[in-house]
Amino acid sequence: MPANLPAEAKAKWLKVSEAKTPEEKLKALRDFLSSVPRHKGTERIIMQARRQMGILRKQIQEEKKKRQQRKSGPSFFIEKEGAAQIILVGEPNTGKSALMRCLTKVNTISSENAFETRRPIPGILEWKGVYLQIVDSPSIVKGSSKGFMNGLQVLTLIKNSDGIIIVLDALKNPLNQIKNIENELKEAKIILRKKNYKIVIEKKRFGGINIFGRVKDASESEIQSLLRSYGINHANIWIKGEATISNIEEQILFSYTYKPSIIFINKIDLLDKDSIDKIIQKAKMYLDNKIPVFPCSSIRCELPEVDRIFEFFLKELELIRVYTRNPRTGVIERKPIILRKNSKVIDAAKMVHSRLYKNFKYAKIWSPRLRFSPQKVGKDFVLEDGDIIEIIA
């Protein structure tokens, strides 16, 4: 410590060096700083003390986060892989883990014990070069949304996913299982039935309110004043489909997220065909045909065709497959690149290689939808599912 500091500051510095915990050290540093006179000679000391305080604050914050995590149980975060992350959801013992084995060959334990699966386990399902990540997960039960049996972590896992496969036990009142699951998910602001509109509100720090799209029963300025009445002064808002102003209000208040889902009615090996048909019909009616329902037997790996699973999720998630063609060899890659609907040629180039993106000249597209195929196109050409693309850089 330089000698030009007053005695009071020196005494306080002693306290800093004696402090044991990060909290004590931070407090002592703050005290010390308040006693350091501000002039050219102390600039460096002040700067260093502030930097140290910054490090301590970060340390304290991280510790706090860790403590909170320990209190609320393990985190169920699973890093995404492939085109989309799909979670297996269902009540205990419905056969999620057995289904996981059929879909991905990942050997998760399947047993008669309820709550056998305690943590999410990921695996990969492949179809014509497209990969879906499937995640076996702990059961959802009444009370999951209140934290029962790690329910909050399971619901967060679902919320962060791209879609779900619901596994029902055909023998245990499947409609009741759907109701319970929908209720628990709704508590977590997740809905499974697609609305005939889509509203996205993205809050911002500045720039005012920008509205893309319209509602049938209100003007742009009415929407703006609704947002302002909820304290939203800067936001982008996208409206697609048949929305009303009260739908916008609902979105501000509850911000439900829609998750595309498929229902598997499992264990049909234990039932006759008539009973299975009745269950399927009842389920479809209850769901207003808004969610596809398939019979299955996980134990025998008798499942609906994988094509239907992939086609459903790709369509619902608005993803397209684009196949690259090598300009030198003319070989078309079997594994497509997966892009969002309405992506442009340049987005595909970016996905393939940064060099193709930076040095992009033009591309050739092969597709039955084009009058001339291949067609030479520029970087802004909009791609469609199934297009074959050759990028020239």
Position 301 contacts ligand GTP (CB under 6 A): no
Contacts with Mg ion in 84-123 (CB under 5 A)?
A: 96-97, 116-117
Q: Which does 177 bind (CB under 5 to 8 A by kind): ligand GTP, Mg ion, none?
A: none
Q: Which does 94 bind (CB under 5 to 8 A by kind): ligand GTP, Mg ion, none?
A: ligand GTP
Nearer to Mg ion, 22 or 92 (CB): 92
Q: Which helix (H) or strand (E) is 343 found in, with range?
A: none
Of these, 56, 84, 97, 345, which contacts ligand GTP (CB under 6 A)? 97
CB proximity list for 390: less than 8 A, separation 6 or greater? 324, 325, 326, 327, 363, 364, 374
**Integer Cα distance of 364 and 61 in angstroms:** 52
Position 144 contacts ligand GTP (CB under 6 A): no
Least distance between ligand GTP and beta carbon 73 (Å) = 17
Least distance between ligand GTP and beta carbon 272 (Å) = 14
**Integer Cα distance of 127 and 145 in angstroms:** 34
CB 32 within 8 A of CB 15: yes
| DSSP letter for each residue of 167-218 | EEETTS-HHHHHHHHHHHHHHTTEE-SPPSEEEEEEE-SSS-EEEES--TT-
Q: For residue 143, is it left (φ>0), alpha (ψ between -120 and 50) or beta?
A: left
Q: Which does 269 bind (CB under 5 to 8 A by kind): ligand GTP, Mg ion, none?
A: ligand GTP
Q: How many Cβ atoms are within 10 Å of 285's Cβ, its own excluded?
A: 10
Q: How many Cβ atoms are within 10 Å of 168's Cβ, its own excluded?
A: 27
Q: Could you tell me the strand order of the sheet in which 209-212 lies?
A: 197-203, 235-241, 209-212
Position 117 contacts ligand GTP (CB under 6 A): yes
Of these, 107, 111, 281, 359, which contacts ligand GTP (CB under 6 A)? 111
Instruction: Tell me the site size for Mg ion, rule CB under 5 A.
Output: 4
| Count of CA atoms in the C-beta half-sphere (13 A) of 344 | 9
String marking each residue 264-283 x if it binds ligand GTP according to CB under 6 A: --xx-xx-------------
Position 123 contacts ligand GTP (CB under 6 A): no
Of these, 56, 78, 86, 98, which contacts ligand GTP (CB under 6 A)? 98
Which positions lie near ligand GTP, rule CB under 6 A?
Answer: 90, 92-98, 110-112, 114-117, 139, 266-267, 269-270, 297-299
Binding site for Mg ion (CB under 5 A): 96-97, 116-117
